[in-house]
Amino acid sequence: MKLTDTAIRKAKPEAKPYKMADGNGMYLEVMPSGAKYWRLKYRHMGKEKRLALGVYPDVSLAEARDKRDAERKLIAKNIDPSAAKQAEKREKRIASANTFEAVAREWVENRSNDWTAAHKALTLRTLEQDAFPSLGNRPIAEISSSELLATIRTIEKRGALEIASRVLQRCSAVFRYAITTDRCKNNPAYKMSEALKSPKRAHYPTIEKGGFPQLLRDIDSYQGNPMTVYILQLMALTFTRTGELLGAEWSEIDLDRAEWLIPAERMKMRRPHLVPLSSQAVAVFREVAKFSSDRVHVFPNRNDPSKPASNAIILRALGRMGYTGKMTGHGFRSAASTMLNENKSKWGIHRDTIELQLAHVEKNASRAAYNFAEYLDERRTMMQQWADYLDKLKAGAEVLKLRA
């Protein structure tokens, strides 16, 4: 006798579970708690098995019968429905682990040892904001070139052409990683850059021709926080990246040896970098020590001394001195590179010495093998020549000739 909805609704729990048969192996199991489960009893390869078909009333009597009939068709084809469901669950788990977002996050973590914490955070933020919303939940092996291009076009429509190019580069790297780890077969980003709009290359603002000596004088006479003056003076003397200077820790600096060794984890290319300090730079650091030698950071954050000063401090000070749009922290590096190269013959400096001090990584693998102490004597001499040259510029003893 088959079940009815009325009979099922009236079924009351008992001290032990009991079954209410519906036919063709399906029955309703009523639990002492009152829960009612649909089950299918069947045999496969001589073994008796049971399969869950759902919970009543979420799965109605009619729906349970439809599920039973579908499963019996599989059984008739000698397919074990229980094993088929397990395989389906496995495939879903694998697909979930192989979404674009899952693979991208794995790629980011895999590259972490090669990147600074700031670059890792920036890379992840770029993907989270511009790639994951449209591609994140998609199985990475199913993403087509047209689908990826649509994502990039959305960014282009905002006018963010530089970001569109950057997102494409990072997506391409994720797909290459997925190919290597056997999660997909093709890279839909391949040669897609040819379809992108080319952004206008914006260069970091650098002081106008002939204006560097006045900038140096303006820095020395700046009426703001003394620590800001020291930061700007050291930017000119060491021409490191802004984050490298502002994140400096006293443990990295040996004033007696006149050396500053920046550890690999704080460098853009994850290689330690040695900065020989001129006598002028040592003098500035000794002044800074009067304010912060008891802190971890050379330039502690005013709001939270356990953290380094904010990058905004440099642009803010330059703006107050009237250099908004004319100079940035990176501009000190550009100016140093230009002037050192223009004076390299006069001062007897080799191009490699300049490039190494700028912490530029050569594309040529053999040249990239230099260690952080390479050309140390030459670099030490160059850094003192540079500091002396800046003193002359401030005094107006030399005319500065920068390329326009």
* DSSP code per residue over 286-330: HHHHHHHTTSSBSSB-SS-TTSBPPTHHHHHHHHHTT-TTT--HH
Question: Looking at the domain 100-195, which fold is it?
Answer: DNA polymerase; domain 1 (1.10.150)
What percent of the chain has a predicted confidence (pLDDT) above 90? 53
Q: What is the mean pLDDT of residues 286-299?
A: 94
Q: Would you call 333 a catalytic residue per the annotation?
A: yes
**Reported confidence tier of residue 370, pLDDT bands at 50, 70, 90:** very low
Answer yes or no: is pLDDT of 125 > 60.
Answer: yes
The pLDDT of 49-55, averaged and rounded, is 90
In the sheet with 36-44, reading across from the earlier edge strand, the strands are 18-23, 26-30, 36-44, 47-56
Say if 100-195 and 212-395 have the same CATH topology.
Answer: no
Better pLDDT: 339 or 400: 339
Burial (CB count <10 Å: 0-12, 13-18, 19+), residue 218: middle
Measured from the Cβ of residue 18, the count of other Cβ atoms closer than 10 Å reads 14
Confirm or reject CATH 1.10.443.10 for domain 212-395, answering yes or no: yes
Cα separation, 107 vs 329, in Å, equals 31
Q: Which of 85, 166, 270, 330 is catalytic?
A: 330
Mean pLDDT for the chain?
Answer: 86
**What pLDDT is recorded for position 208?**
56
Q: For residue 397, what pLDDT band results from cuts at 50, 70 and 90? A: low
Q: Higher confidence at residue 371 or residue 281?
A: 281
Task: Of 120, 125, 121, 127, give the one whose Cα is nearest residue 104.
Answer: 127
333, 375, 379, 389: the catalytic one is 333
Beta bridge partner(s), residue 30: 18, 36
Point out the catalytic residue in the list 111, 360, 380, 394: 360
Active-site choice (268, 270, 271, 316)? 268
The pLDDT value given to residue 265: 83
Please give the DSSP secondary-structure letter assigned to residue 16: S
Among this protein's residues, is 370 annotated catalytic? yes
Domain ranges across the chain = 5-84, 100-195, 212-395
Long-range contacts of 124-130 (CB under 8 A, 24+ apart): 126/163, 126/166, 126/167, 126/170, 127/101, 127/167, 127/170, 127/171, 127/174, 130/155, 130/163, 130/167
Average pLDDT over residues 37-42: 93
56: annotated active-site residue: no
**What is the separation of C-alpha 323 from the centre of its chain, rounded to a whole number of angstroms?**
31
Q: What is the pLDDT of residues 191-230, one digit of tens each?
A: 887 777 766 554 445 565 578 899 999 999 999 899 999 9
Yes or no: domain 5-84 corresponds to CATH 3.50.30.10:
no
Q: Exactly one of 270, 370, 380, 394 is catalytic; which is it? A: 370
> What residue type is assigned to position 8 of the chain?
I
Q: Which of 103-107, 190-194, 260-264, 283-287 has the lowest mean pLDDT?
A: 190-194
- Specify whether 39 is catalytic: no
290 close to 255: Cβ distance less than 8 angstroms: no
Catalytic residue among 68, 241, 273, 297: 241
Instruction: Look at strands 253-254 and 18-23 and give their pairing.
Output: unpaired
Q: Write the DSSP symbol of residue 139.
A: B
- Say if residue 365's pLDDT is above 50: no
Long-range contacts, 250-256 (Cβ 8 Å, 24+):
250/289, 250/292, 250/293, 250/295, 250/296, 250/297, 250/298, 251/296, 253/277, 253/285, 253/298, 255/282, 255/285, 255/286, 255/289
Nearest 5°: the CA angle 340, 341, 344 is 80
Mean pLDDT to the nearest integer, 70-78: 88
